[in-house]
Amino acid sequence: MATVFIHATVTLDGYMADVGGGVDWMSDVPTVAEDEAVVTTVMDRIGAVVGGANKSQTIDDGEEPYGGTLGVPVYLMTRSENEPIVKNGTTYTFVVDDIALAVAAAKKAAGDKWVSLLGGSISRQCLRLGLVDEIHLHVVPLLLGDGIPLFAGLGQRVDLERVETSGFSGEAHLRYRVLR
């Protein structure tokens, strides 16, 4: 059965994007081969993705999860009906207002691989519903001071068990299991 996990790169002060939603700061963080190996290992295990979309045009505008490189089914939460979009071999399915349905479909598509949850709102909704198995964070040595936080507004306690940690010159990699 698929493992559902939150996957994010965050700053040390907990932001996943700057105030305007930009993530350009991620490209400024130096990494070493060991950092890349951790990220590659995680990405190789992903069998489906659940994320957010304001409208279907985000795919056409290049806002594809993981840059469209994974080639796995992507389920995007939206508020209005849209036909699926196929781009570069990846099918983007739009799910209206039912995150549990999106996660269930992604789990079925992923099989025994992992379902990656992207974005703060998606992550918090899934945590509240008890749909998250693990949290994987890549913490970069940067303080933005302000921005879009990953977990702010969760509104509940979530107990975690540390599964794995590693750190190299560019990032600290944290993996936690959600305790139920």
How confident is the model at residue 130, as a pLDDT?
Answer: 97
Q: Which of 115, 110, 77 is nearest to 96 (CA)?
A: 77
Query: pLDDT band at residue 89, thresholds of 50, 70 and 90?
Result: confident
Q: Which fold has domain 4-178?
A: Dihydrofolate Reductase, subunit A (3.40.430)
As beta bridge partners, residue 135 has 6, 176
Residue 67, pLDDT > 80, answer no
For the chain, give every domain's residue range.
4-178
Alpha helices per DSSP H over 32-98:
33-45, 57-60
Query: pLDDT band at residue 55, thresholds of 50, 70 and 90?
Result: very low
Q: What does the pLDDT average to over 2-21?
A: 94
For the stretch 116-129, pLDDT in tens is 999 899 999 999 99
